[in-house]
């Protein structure tokens, strides 16, 4: 039995995104959850499934007691770092299509004042135990430092250049400036990009995503449960998760360039029954510019090693053949662990994305990228 | 010396011979007595033949450059004194890798550059590997 076209994303919600917030992580999660429930046209009591983001310290029980949920029949977590929200969509799709429950609430919330900084996350996430023992003593533990050798090798093998990374940062910033509710509001030029300070060569400041406070949430419903709700039905056409070789240490990966999405993407396209040329818009997990470039290759929009030329062609701009990160992404809107990417894709497919709306978008794609290379992808469609 | 710089061996009962080897200025790797597969970083089970046993082998430290980065931002105050620092991902002759600071002319770094392993005593308890041009 395929999951394809059995589940739908029926509700979306977001708070204001900012560097800091006076509100607790729980409060933020509840605000985004209520927004998503109202957006769907549901009552809170109709939520019967919960997949809270594993890294935020808010558990299903917190949501039950605050939202007054007395009929929860399914709860889970999908602890894959930045691949978690899309993995949760996959998990929720399985739950609603099997009849375990009808409406799954998936919230993500962060508040930098009470945790979530990079140096703290290392200790909170068991998938980093190997890095913490063997690479932290060398001074390498932050994602920028862990991913830099992958990007360097890509540059050495394929001639990828800083200007290619810059194109991703610049086009994403352009979208954030148009869009609103983005932390970054000033345009970025190539000169700005090249002048920004090095963090871990080849990553400059503008290759790195933001640190943010706020919350975002979506609701995944059974297709039957979605039909009488408020919005056009945005169906999950295909979804997949993949793990690279050596998912606890990039250093030990036989092929340093490989990511989990290399395995997941063909499965998601096969499940959806669509091809890359059917994708009207894509929201690509952008913790770093390079990670976007590599995912575009893994998804099959270009061949391995061709990501630089692909983005240099203007393909990822709003008017290009594959507009990406139309909300400004983690690089320029906010780092909501990619839940903001799912929210944005649903907006695009509903036709409610405002100044960055891709005209006639009917099929779109969203990815997640977890810490040391775990990959998730969901292909959504308005049918 | 911050406690952050100490190995965070939270759960690993598999790695003490590795750290002890470094203190003796030896690079020691786990090898499966069943199928001969090296496994690094240390762990309890051979993924190829599912043998729980491991023998510890002292290796030559001959390696070559796979990739590298220069750290410019410390991310934690404990590492401020270390940067900027060139860190190399090196492929050992045995096929597994080492991530270690490069103590040579970084302008010469290129894929495949031959390396040898050296040792840096950080404290009485901790010695770390480093990499030098061969």
Cβ proximity of A301 and A177 under 8 Å? no
pLDDT, residue B5, reads 52
Of chain A, the percentage scoring pLDDT greater than 90 comes to 91
B33 found inside a domain: yes
B49 found inside a domain: yes
Determine the Cα angle at A48 with ends A43 and A51, to 5°: 110
One domain, residues B71 and B100: yes
Chain A residue numbers touching B21 (CB-CB < 8 A): none
A140 found inside a domain: no
pLDDT, residue A383, reads 81
**How far is residue A84 from each of residues A20, A56, A272, A349, B68, measured CA to CA in Å?**
23, 12, 20, 22, 29
- Mean residue pLDDT across chain A: 96
pLDDT, residue B8, reads 47
How far apart are the C-alpha atoms of A296 and A370, rounded to whole Å?
A: 16
A185 found inside a domain: no
Mean pLDDT, residues A187-212 taken together: 98
Cβ proximity of B48 and B116 under 8 Å? no
* Domain at B121, CATH number: 2.40.50
How far apart are the C-alpha atoms of B1 and B79, rounded to whole Å?
A: 10
How far apart are the C-alpha atoms of A4 and A237, rounded to whole Å?
A: 5
Q: Which two tokens stand for residue A375?
A: 């990959």
pLDDT, residue B79, reads 87
Cβ proximity of B72 and A199 under 8 Å? yes
CB contact under 8 A, B126 and A249: no
SS3 state of residue B27: strand
A100 found inside a domain: yes
SS3 state of residue A7: strand
One domain, residues B74 and B42: no
Give the full edge-to-edge strand order of the sheet including B55-59.
B38-39, B27-31, B55-59
A87 found inside a domain: yes
Q: pLDDT (tens digit, 9 = 90+) per residue, B85-128?
A: 999 999 999 999 999 999 999 999 999 999 999 999 998 889 99
B126 found inside a domain: yes
* Residue-number span of the structural domain to which B81 is assigned: 61-134
Interface with chain B: mutation pick from A138, A147, A197, A294, highest number of B CBs within 10 Å: A138
Comparing alpha-carbon positions, the chain A residue that sits nearest to B9 is A133
- B126–chain A Cβ distance below 8 A for any pair: yes
A138 found inside a domain: no
Determine the Cα angle at A293 with ends A290 and A295, to 5°: 110
Q: pLDDT (tens digit, 9 = 90+) per residue, A328-378?
A: 999 999 999 999 999 999 999 999 999 999 999 999 999 999 989 999 999
* Domain at A308, CATH number: 3.40.47.10
The total of structural domains in chain B comes to 2
How far apart are the C-alpha atoms of B85 and B98, rounded to whole Å?
A: 16
A167 found inside a domain: no
Q: pLDDT (tens digit, 9 = 90+) per residue, A31-55?
A: 999 999 999 999 999 999 999 999 8
The total of structural domains in chain A comes to 1
pLDDT, residue A129, reads 85
| A281 CB-contact burial (10 Å; exposed 0-12 / middle 13-18 / buried 19+) | buried
SS3 state of residue A38: helix
CB contact under 8 A, B73 and A198: yes
Closest-CA distance, B58 to chain A, in angstroms, reads 18
DSSP state of A327: T
Nearest to A197 among B8, B72, B96 (CB): B72
Cβ proximity of A14 and A181 under 8 Å? yes
Comparing alpha-carbon positions, the chain A residue that sits nearest to B96 is A252
- B48–chain A Cβ distance below 8 A for any pair: no
One domain, residues B78 and B55: no
pLDDT, residue B125, reads 87
How far apart are the C-alpha atoms of A238 and A118, rounded to whole Å?
A: 32
pLDDT, residue A115, reads 64
Mean pLDDT, residues A218-240 taken together: 95
- B87–chain A Cβ distance below 8 A for any pair: yes
One domain, residues B93 and B129: yes
CB contact under 8 A, A256 and B69: no
Kindly report the backbone phi and psi dihedral angles of residue B20, in degrees, each rounded to the nearest multiple of 5, phi listed first.
-65, -40
Task: Report the b/e string of A167-192 with b at 16+ CB within 10 A.
Answer: bbbbbbbbbbbebebbbbeeebeeeb
Closest-CA distance, A74 to chain B, in angstroms, reads 31
The segment with the largest mean pLDDT, out of A116-120, B9-13, B18-22, is B18-22
Mean pLDDT, residues A229-243 taken together: 96
One domain, residues B134 and B68: yes
Interface A:B, Cβ pairs < 8 A: 105
B11 pLDDT band, cuts 50/70/90, is: very low
Kindly report the backbone phi and psi dihedral angles of residue B48, in degrees, each rounded to the nearest multiple of 5, phi listed first.
-95, -50
B8 found inside a domain: no
Q: Which two tokens stand for residue A234?
A: 């945005």
pLDDT for B82 beyond 90: no
Chain B residue numbers touching A117 (CB-CB < 8 A): none
Mean pLDDT, residues A89-102 taken together: 98
* Residue-number span of the structural domain to which A99 is assigned: 7-116+209-382
B39 found inside a domain: yes
One domain, residues B39 and B81: no
pLDDT for A112 beyond 90: no
Mean pLDDT, residues A100-124 taken together: 81
One domain, residues B32 and B53: yes
- B2–chain A Cβ distance below 8 A for any pair: no
Comparing alpha-carbon positions, the chain B residue that sits nearest to A125 is B10
| A342 CB-contact burial (10 Å; exposed 0-12 / middle 13-18 / buried 19+) | buried
The alpha carbon of A327 is separated from its chain's Cα centroid by a whole number of angstroms, namely 12
B2 found inside a domain: no
CB contact under 8 A, A198 and B70: yes
How far apart are the C-alpha atoms of A106 and A51, rounded to whole Å?
A: 5
CB contact under 8 A, A133 and B5: no
pLDDT, residue A113, reads 77
pLDDT, residue A122, reads 66
Among candidates A382, A379, A383, which has minimal Cα distance to A268?
A: A379
pLDDT, residue A244, reads 97
One domain, residues B71 and B55: no
One domain, residues B101 and B122: yes
User: What ipTM was predicted for this assembly?
Assistant: 0.94
B2 pLDDT band, cuts 50/70/90, is: very low
Q: pLDDT (tens digit, 9 = 90+) per residue, A301-313?
A: 999 999 999 999 9
Mean pLDDT, residues A169-194 taken together: 97
pLDDT, residue B1, reads 37
One domain, residues B22 and B47: yes
Question: What would the 3-class secondary structure string for A54-109 be?
Answer: CCCCCCHHHHHHHHCCCCCCEECCCCCHHHHHHHHHHHHHHHHHCCCCCEEEEEEE
pLDDT, residue B7, reads 47
One domain, residues B79 and B50: no
One domain, residues B68 and B50: no
């Amino acid at each position: 039995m395929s999951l394809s076209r059995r589940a739908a994303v029926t509700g979306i919600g977001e708070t204001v995104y900012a560097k800091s917030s006076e509100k607790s992580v729980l409060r933020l999660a509840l605000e985004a959850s209520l927004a998503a429930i109202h957006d769907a046209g549901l009552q809170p009591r109709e939520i019967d499934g919960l997949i809270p983001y594993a890294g935020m310290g808010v558990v299903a029980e917190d949501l039950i007691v605050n939202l007054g949920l007395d009929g929860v029949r399914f709860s889970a977590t999908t602890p894959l770092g930045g691949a978690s929200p899309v993995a949760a969509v996959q998990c929720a799709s399985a739950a609603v299509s099997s009849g375990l429950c009808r409406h799954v609430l998936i919230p993500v919330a962060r508040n930098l004042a009470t945790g979530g900084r990079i140096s703290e996350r290392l200790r909170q996430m068991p998938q980093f135990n190997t890095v913490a023992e063997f690479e932290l003593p060398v001074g390498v533990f932050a994602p920028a430092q862990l991913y830099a050798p992958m990007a360097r090798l890509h540059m050495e093998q394929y001639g990828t250049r800083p200007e290619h990374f810059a194109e991703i940062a610049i086009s994403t910033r352009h979208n954030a400036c148009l869009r609103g509710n983005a932390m970054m509001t000033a345009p970025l030029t190539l000169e700005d990009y090249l002048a920004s300070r090095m963090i871990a060569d080849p990553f400059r400041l503008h290759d790195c995503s933001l640190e943010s406070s706020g919350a975002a949430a979506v609701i995944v419903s059974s297709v039957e449960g979605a039909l009488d709700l408020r919005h056009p039905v945005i169906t999950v056409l295909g979804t997949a998760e993949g793990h690279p070789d050596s998912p606890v240490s990039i250093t030990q990966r036989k092929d340093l360039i490989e990511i989990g999405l290399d395995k997941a993407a063909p499965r998601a396209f096969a499940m959806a029954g669509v091809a890359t040329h059917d994708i009207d818009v894509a929201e690509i997990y952008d913790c770093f510019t390079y990670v976007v470039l590599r995912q575009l290759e893994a998804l099959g929009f270009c061949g391995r090693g061709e990501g630089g030329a692909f983005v240099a062609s203007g393909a990822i701009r709003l008017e290009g053949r594959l507009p990406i990160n139309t909300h400004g992404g983690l690089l320029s809107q906010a780092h909501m662990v990619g839940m903001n990417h799912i929210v944005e894709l649903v907006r695009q497919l509903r036709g409610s994305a405002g100044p960055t709306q891709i005209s006639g978008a009917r099929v779109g794609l969203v990815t997640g990228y977890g810490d040391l290379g775990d990959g998730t992808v969901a292909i959504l469609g308005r049918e | 010396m911050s406690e952050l710089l100490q190995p965070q061996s939270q759960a690993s009962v598999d790695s003490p011979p590795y750290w002890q080897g470094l203190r003796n200025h030896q690079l020691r790797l786990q090898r499966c007595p069943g199928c001969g597969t090296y496994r690094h970083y240390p762990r309890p089970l051979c993924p190829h033949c599912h043998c729980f046993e491991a023998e510890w082998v002292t290796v030559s430290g001959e390696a070559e450059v796979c990739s590298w980065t220069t750290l410019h931002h410390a991310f934690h105050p404990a590492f401020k004194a270390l940067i900027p620092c060139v860190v190399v991902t090196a492929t050992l002759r045995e096929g597994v890798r080492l991530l270690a600071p490069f103590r040579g002319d970084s302008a010469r770094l290129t894929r495949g550059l031959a390396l040898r392993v050296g040792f840096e005593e950080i404290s009485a308890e901790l010695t770390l590997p480093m990499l030098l041009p061969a």
